[in-house]
A and B are shown apart, each in its own frame.
Chain A
Amino acid sequence: MKLKTIEEKLCCPFDKSDLDLQIFTLDTDNDEVLEGMLSCATCERNYPIISGIPIMTPDEFREEALEKPVFDKWNQLLGQDPSPTPQIEGD
């Protein structure tokens, strides 16, 4: 997704707060974010951008396998644990 669209249009689907963007891969020719992380300071949810697509589905429909590589990269960059991805299994 274009950097401009992300900055101007996207918000947290749940509380509609503004999102912070961390860019991992930017296609500078098209000004498009190919990989990154969107974070909501209000509800502390994180939404990855994978292959140029923001993944903003509710907690219980997130796909751990799809998102894990981006979260791993994020951990490395920040050198800390992000808030864990919500899980449906377990208790």
Chain B
Amino acid sequence: MKKVAYTETQMRLAQVLKALGHPARVAIMDHLLKVNACICGDIVNELPLAQPTVSQHLKELKNAGLIQGSIEGNTICYCIDPQDVAELRDYLQNMVETLNPEPEKSCGNKGNIAANFAIKEMVKAKYSLIAAQSPASQNSCCAQDSSPQKIYHIMTDEYNNLAGYNPAADLQLGCGLPTKFARINPGDVVVDLGSGAGNDCFVARHETGVKGKVIGIDFSAAMVQKARQNAQQKNFDNVEFIVGDIEDIPLPKATAQVVVSNCVMNLVPDKVQAFREVFRILKPGGHFSISDIVLTGDLPAKIKNAAEMYAGCVASAILQSDYLEIIKQAGFSNLTIQKNKPIIVPEHILKDYLNPDEIAAYSSRETVIRSLSIYAEKPRD
């Protein structure tokens, strides 16, 4: 490989993100965030890890600048380094804000490898963090809160009524009910892309029955561990999980009758490649049902910030017309929008970002943020 000169900031950020790329370290950070104070003495009792392992992880976090204090010897006392965490926050925020819905920047531009890498690393870190959190304190893609006190799950549809629903697997990260519209038959092989803790997999498994199979793929190893535990608790031996990438799916062609995905495709940097992969793994005559957030028009930056606080997927959402075009280009037919739901950002969130006149102007227009459930088929030949 060619030698590349990176800036100091790039090196630092890479180090910080890499330090977060392990569930144990995410768990330690999570604990520190939860207690929101310095920890003097033992954290071992709080974590399912041995002392030497914890010491090693603390060392990596300290080397990356995420925690400060003393982590060795008799005077162990450390806490989160607010300055470095703020730097990370600013970086991620800037990244999210820069990802705009202009098609030439957001539609599967494989040229921008560095940016794609950063997005994926961010997604992995973010969802590993969510997996480590308790269900009550989630900060998610499609149900993001602006502070630990405020939790919004308004974008998620009601799963409670669906057969096979497993509350332990519902991290409320979705934005639709793809499985409800997925037309799954008994005995089908179903693949869930971005399976999280397994929520849609368990609903799908109810439809496939014991003779079918559900395979969940997620980018975060921590999420997949959680999903596997949920499947084991239910004694489901035909729901299985893989840590993998939607742009390079480790399944052979013509594997599945049905592909589902809930509020995940918008997080994938190369959507063209992702839908090509969906097409490849489907059997001829198979279909997908995918829920996602799209935009139907321009979203001013200020509104986007407000919307992002309400629903994390909005920042990376692309135009509906581009999204549908990508699906058609991948070779799909009989494209149908099964559900099209407006996402209304509540006024109490808007008012943190806009003045009263701007709120009135925004509210008088039809919202351009939509949650879609999309169905399309792979032709038989």
Q: Which residues of A contact B (CB under 8 A)?
A: 1-2, 5, 9-14, 16, 30, 47, 51-58, 60-61, 63, 65-66, 88-89, 91
A66-B250 contact given A1-B242, A54-B242, CB 8 Å threshold: no
Complex contacts, B240 vs chain A, CB 8 Å: 1-2, 5
Q: Across the interface, do B252 and A54 meet the contact criterion of CB distance under 8 Å?
A: no
In the assembled complex, the CB of A12 is this many whole angstroms from the nearest CB of chain B, namely 7
B241 at the interface (CB under 8 A from A): yes
Does A2 lie within 8 Å of B237, measured CB to CB?
Answer: yes
Q: Dominant SS at the B interface?
A: mixed
B294 to chain A, nearest CB (A): 26
CB distance from B312 to the nearest CB of A (A): 20
B244's partner among A5, A56, A89 (CB-CB below 8 A) is A56
CB < 8 Å A-B pair total: 75
- The answer to whether A63 and B250 have CB atoms under 8 Å apart is no
6 new A-B contacts, CB < 8 A, other than A13-B244, A57-B219, are A14-B248, A51-B228, A54-B250, A57-B243, A57-B244, A61-B124
A-side interface mostly = loop
Instruction: Let me know if A5 and B215 touch, CB within 8 A.
Output: yes
Contacts of A53 in B (CB 8 A): 221, 224-225, 228, 241-243
Contact among B21, B248, B255 with A13 in the assembled complex (CB-CB below 8 Å) = B248
Listed in ascending order, the chain B residues whose CB lies under 8 Å from chain A are 1-4, 14, 21-22, 117, 120-121, 124, 213, 215, 219, 221, 224-225, 228, 237, 240-245, 247-253, 255
Q: Which residues of B contact A52 (CB under 8 A)?
A: 228
CB of A91 within 8 A of CB of B245, answer no
Separation in Å of the A24 CB from the closest CB of chain B? 17
**Inter-chain contact B253/A16, CB cutoff 8 Å:** yes
* CB atoms of A11 and B117 under 8 A apart: no
Q: Which residues of B contact A9 (CB under 8 A)?
A: 215, 251-252, 255
What are 15 pairs between A and B in contact, CB < 8 Å?
A: A1-B242, A2-B240, A5-B240, A13-B245, A13-B249, A16-B252, A51-B225, A51-B228, A54-B242, A54-B244, A55-B243, A56-B245, A56-B250, A58-B247, A61-B219
Identify the closest chain A residue to B1 (Cβ): A91
Give Cα A54 to B248, complex, Å: 14
- Chain A proximity of B128: nearest CB distance (Å): 10
Q: Residue B245 contacts which of A1, A5, A57 (CB distance < 8 angstroms)?
A: A57
